[in-house]
Amino acid sequence: MKHIKTVGEMAKVAGELKCSGLTIGFVPTMGYLHEGHLSLIRRAKKECDYALVSIFVNPSQFGPQEDFSNYPRDMEGDLAKCRHEDVKVVFTPEAGDIYPDGFSTSIEVGKVSEGLCGALRPGHFRGVATVVTKLFNIIRPDKAYFGQKDFQQTLVVKKLAADLNLQTEIVVAPTVREPDGLAMSSRNAYLTQQERAAAAKIYRSLASARSLRESGERRPDVLEQKVRGSLTEEPLIKVEYVSVVDPEGDKILRNVRDGAVIAAAVRIGRTRLIDNIVI
Amino acid sequence: MKHIKTVGEMAKVAGELKCSGLTIGFVPTMGYLHEGHLSLIRRAKKECDYALVSIFVNPSQFGPQEDFSNYPRDMEGDLAKCRHEDVKVVFTPEAGDIYPDGFSTSIEVGKVSEGLCGALRPGHFRGVATVVTKLFNIIRPDKAYFGQKDFQQTLVVKKLAADLNLQTEIVVAPTVREPDGLAMSSRNAYLTQQERAAAAKIYRSLASARSLRESGERRPDVLEQKVRGSLTEEPLIKVEYVSVVDPEGDKILRNVRDGAVIAAAVRIGRTRLIDNIVI
């Protein structure tokens, strides 16, 4: 496994790979790798010649009051996992190499980054879009892999890639869950034992809306109310939003059709968690 | 000469060129080609294996009250000129292919796009940065060529390429001038005969500041006043700005040093013209 630490070397190696005719499957991560990330890596390996993983906790997608400095990090553990998955290249740039002094450019993807998490985390998706564009320009992957758990992020990245002609196919892979249904997330590490038990309620609440939908209910507000009601049964959970949207992320106002997504963001203690399922 | 009209074909051809080991020298233009453009093409041919020219009047860099619909166009003449210069590929996309329905992404380069023309043409450099990023992602040129006449644009594009890791070297070539000193510009075509005669005053005024500088004057306000005074001798000229800036585009407040630029924007009738020289 090649471990690359600088933008310059990464661009050079990626350019060589590119012109050797081999395809690059890129998995951008913020590290602290879990089974969700590993599922993306395995998919990339299956679909491309090379799996290339980046580990970079991107400061520009965190708000000033958010958890950038506390975000869990485990570089040695992450490298061991990548090695174990037979990743060919791991790219771990320094923040000063990605954002040198005087860096001033930002990318706004528009409508799809408003609403849901975009409404509660101003600037978050601008940070995501900017770093993804930079990483794609450095690496020029054939495909890039993102998890469905970060539903709005997948919409933003797909729109970004299309609008800026990034020439990378965006692949969205299913959310990987713990046995009790909790979506895998690096932020689960923040939870106390008691909070962790409470967090199982998120998926159960989303699943309850799916059951209701399957029994014929199509009104988005009723489905949202079902999830909200279920979540509030758990006193440790504070709901940020529950929203039924279409596959393009637009709020559904009338009847739910196939492919609709119900997404929720909650706080448990100081930890913010998101999840979504197709209903 | 290959004439390519779609983004899809352009990306495919550029990818093939790229991996054949040949270098691409890209000259993005809005057409109505003049000697300034041709000098860029010749430079691209000298420094790269292929000269690739795009002709695209980019709607997103024009303000609502600006001259997008009147901008001079001469596709047949332009293609003939490219053929004559032995350009290998001309790319002439349709606006609907560059900006499909629902397009919503924009790129803001920050500080360098404020001031000068940026202050008078809100959104102009956002439009430039966005289309340049798209064209670079489609074509992935080794080098791209811009004229010094559009001084602030060269700063914006250099910052954009660095900040987004575009991996294209930005080459800035000298302004090409008419015998009386007027900078070549597609917009010169708007001028009446009388206005055209008056327009020669722009370069003469800038040159008068250079002479003053060469005789020892280093105060930016005095140099600006010299140009402003000279321009206003010509009744057809209305000054938008005259500004002494450093090579990075920052306003110079104290003493001028080597490499400083004096830039001006004026209106003559309904035509807006810009020019600048190093002093």
- CA A274, chain centre distance (Å): 10
Is residue A24 over pLDDT 90? yes
Angle at A277 between CA A231 and CA A120, to 5 degrees: 65
Is residue A227 over pLDDT 90? yes
Give me the pLDDT at residue B19, please. Answer: 83
Out of B133, B163, B166, the one facing A103 most closely (by C-beta) is B163
Query: Residue A245: in which H helix or E strand, if any?
Result: strand A237-245
Nearest-angstrom CA–CA distance, A59 and A126: 12
As beta bridge partners, residue B89 has B2, B52
Out of A19, A110, A164, the one facing B133 most closely (by C-beta) is A164
Nearest CA in chain B to A248: B102
Contacts of A209 (CB under 8 A, 6+ apart): A223, A224, A226, A227, A262, A279
- The maximal CA–CA distance of chain A, rounded, in angstroms, is 57
Question: Which pair of tokens denotes residue A175?
Answer: 């959310």
Query: Residue B238: in which H helix or E strand, if any?
Result: strand B237-245
Length of chain A: 279
Query: Residue B240: in which H helix or E strand, if any?
Result: strand B237-245
Clarify whether A37 is annotated catalytic: yes
Q: Is the separation of the CB atoms in B144 and B171 below 8 Å?
A: yes
Q: Would the pTM count as exceeding 0.90?
A: yes
Which are the catalytic amino acids of B?
37
Give me the pLDDT at residue B205, please. Answer: 98
User: Per residue in A219-257, is it b (16+ CB within 10 Å) or e — as a string?
Assistant: bbeebbebbbebbeebebbeebbbbbbeeebeebeeebe
Averaged pLDDT for residues A50-68 = 96
* DSSP for B18-68, written as a single string: HHTT--EEEEEE-SS--HHHHHHHHHHHHHSSEEEEEE---GGGS-TTSST
Nearest-angstrom CA–CA distance, B107 and A218: 39
Per-residue model confidence as pLDDT tens for chain B (279 residues): 999 999 999 999 998 888 888 999 999 999 999 999 999 999 999 999 999 999 999 999 999 999 999 999 999 999 999 999 999 999 999 999 999 999 999 999 999 999 999 999 999 999 999 999 999 999 999 999 999 999 999 999 999 999 999 999 999 999 999 999 999 999 999 999 999 999 999 999 999 999 999 999 999 999 999 999 999 999 999 999 999 999 999 999 899 988 999 999 999 999 999 999 999
- Nearest CA to A88 out of A49, A40, A47 is that of A49
Chain B interface, best mutation among A56, A104, A126, by max B CB count within 10 A? A104
Chain A interface, best mutation among B9, B160, B163, by max A CB count within 10 A? B163
Averaged pLDDT for residues A128-148 = 98
Averaged pLDDT for residues A250-258 = 90
Nearest-angstrom CA–CA distance, A278 and A259: 6
The region of weakest confidence among A17-21, A87-91, A181-185, B92-96 is: A17-21
3-class DSSP state of B258: coil
Give me the pLDDT at residue B157, please. Answer: 98
**Burial environment of residue A28 by CB neighbours within 10 A (0 to 12, 13 to 18, 19 or more):** buried
Own/partner pairs, B119-122, CB within 8 angstroms, 24+ separation: B119/B241, B120/B240, B120/B241, B120/B265, B121/B63, B121/B66, B122/B63
Nearest-angstrom CA–CA distance, A34 and A187: 11
Radius of gyration of chain A measured on its C-alpha atoms: 19
Give me the pLDDT at residue A21, please. Answer: 86
At residue B26, φ and ψ (nearest 5 deg) are -105, 130
**Burial environment of residue B207 by CB neighbours within 10 A (0 to 12, 13 to 18, 19 or more):** middle
Which band of pLDDT confidence, cut at 50, 70 and 90, is reported for residue A180?
Answer: very high
- CA terminus-to-terminus distance, chain A: 40
Domains contained in chain A, CATH given? 2-173 (3.40.50.620), 186-278 (3.30.1300.10)
Give me the pLDDT at residue A50, please. Answer: 93
Q: Is the separation of the CB atoms in A182 and A203 below 8 Å?
A: yes
Between residues A127 and B21, the one the model is more confident about: A127
B129/A112 Cβ within 8 A: no
B166/A137 Cβ within 8 A: yes
**Distance, in angstroms, between A7 CA and closest chain B CA?**
9
**What count of CB pairs under 8 Å joins A to B?**
81
Evaluate the CA torsion angle B79, B83, B87, B88 in order and state its sign.
positive
Give me the pLDDT at residue A145, please. Answer: 98
Is residue A19 over pLDDT 90? no
